[in-house]
Structures are given as C-alpha cells and as structure tokens.
Amino acid sequence: MSRSLTIAGLAVLIAAAILAGQINLGHAASSAATATQTSPTGTATETVQTEPGLIAAGKKVYRKCAACHPVGEGAGHRVGPTLNGIMGRAAASAEGFKYSPAIEAKAREGLVWTPETLDAFLTAPYKFLPQTSMSFAGLKRAGDRAAVVAYIAQFSN
Ligand code: HEC
C-alpha cells in the first residue's frame, strides 16, 4: 500500500516536470521547429500556431512589447497602437493612432499583417521598415517570434 503510494507520488512528480518543461521557452522554440517540418497546411510561417505551450511562451516574450502595445479587452493605444485585431489587417490601420509616414507608405503598397509579414518585421524592424517610429531592435530567435505571433493572434478572433 505505502509502496504503491510512493509510485503514484513519483508519477505526479514526473508529470509536473513535463508540464514545467512545456512552458519553458527553449521547449517552445523546439516545438515551433517541429511544426515547421510537419505542418500539413503549409509552411509554419503562413499558419498561426496554437499550441498552449507556445502561446504561454509568447506571453513572456510579449513583455518586451506590452509597454508600448496594450492588448486585450478595452486596450487602447500607447507609444504604439494596440495589437488587438492585428492579424490579417492592413498595416497602419488601427483607428486613432498616428503612424509614421514610413509605415503608411508600406501600407499603400499593400502590406498586410500575417504570420509571415509579422515574422519578417519582428526579425529586424528597421530593415523591414526603415524610418519606422517603432524603437525596437527586433527578436533574433525564430522561436521567440513564432511564440509572440501565436500569442498576439489570440487577440484577433
Ligand atoms: C518602444 C515602443 C515599442 C516596442 C517595445 C514595440 N513596439 Fe511595435 N510599434 C511601436 C510603434 C511606435 C509603432 C508604429 C510604427 C510606425 O508608425 O512606424 C509600432 C508598430 C507595430 C506594428 C504594426 C502595427 C500596425 O497597426 O500596423 C506591429 C505589428 C508591432 N509594432 C508589433 C510589436 C511587437 C510584437 C513588439 C514586441 C516584440 C513590439 N511591437 C515592440 C512601438 C513599439
């Protein structure tokens, strides 16, 4: 009896360790990589990923964005526009936000925010959009970008 309890206790510990691993950033990066290889619906950059572990990781990455970009119910603009509804939307189209001429010019050329264009922008904002007023150096790690895109996509439903 006490022996089986010990085994049950061990199983709980192992399960907890696995769960803890899932919200770890490093793991999210590797699960994003896996999705890239196995996604049946196209390349991972064109598909919003919805794994809970990835979204949890994206929430952490989003701390870098949150001060400038409020999201969620009732979020307004701050230094940057709210990113509510960003997915599938034309660039520079959040009502009531004063954008730079640089992003407005890109929007006239037809820039629409998709997982793919968001990934490109977030990799190197100043390269993608020279003269943007967004002062942010970019996210070097593909896993961080996939995670943050998965996170913000939640506010586009
Ligand atoms: C220091 C403030 C700041 C930080 C940090 C920042 N941004 Fe921005 N962001 C801006 C500003 C300002 C703009 C408007 C750019 C323009 O007008 O050229 C912008 C624009 C954007 C846009 C385009 C919005 C639209 O309506 O077209 C996206 C998407 C975006 N940011 C995502 C992010 C993400 C994701 C992060 C974090 C990884 C981030 N930003 C970090 C200030 C910031």
Read off the pLDDT band of 129 (50, 70, 90). very high
147 CB near ligand 1 (under 6 Å): no
pTM given for the model: 0.77
Q: Residue of the nearest CA to atom 28 in ligand 1?
A: 83
Ligand 1 midpoint to CA 80 (Å) = 5
Determine contact, residues 78/70, Cβ cutoff 8 Å. Answer: yes
Give CA angle at 27 (137, 32), nearest 5°.
70
Asked whether 131 lines ligand 1 (CB < 6 A), one says: no
For 36-90, what is each residue's pLDDT tens digit? 333 344 344 456 778 889 999 999 999 999 999 999 999 999 999 999 999 999 9
Kindly list the distances between the CA atom of residue 145 and the CA atoms of 7, 26, 32, 83, 100, in Å, as whole numbers in the listed order: 40, 13, 10, 15, 23
Report the nearest-CA residue for atom 34 of ligand 1.
65
Task: Please name each of the domains of the chain with its CATH number.
Answer: 2-156 (1.10.760.10)
Angle between helices 52-61 and 25-38 (to 10 degrees): 130
Q: How far apart are CA 95 and CA 92, in angstroms?
A: 9
The alpha carbon of 88 and the centre of ligand 1 are apart by a number of angstroms equal to 16
Q: How far is ligand 1, taken at its centre, from the CA of residue 53, in Å? A: 24
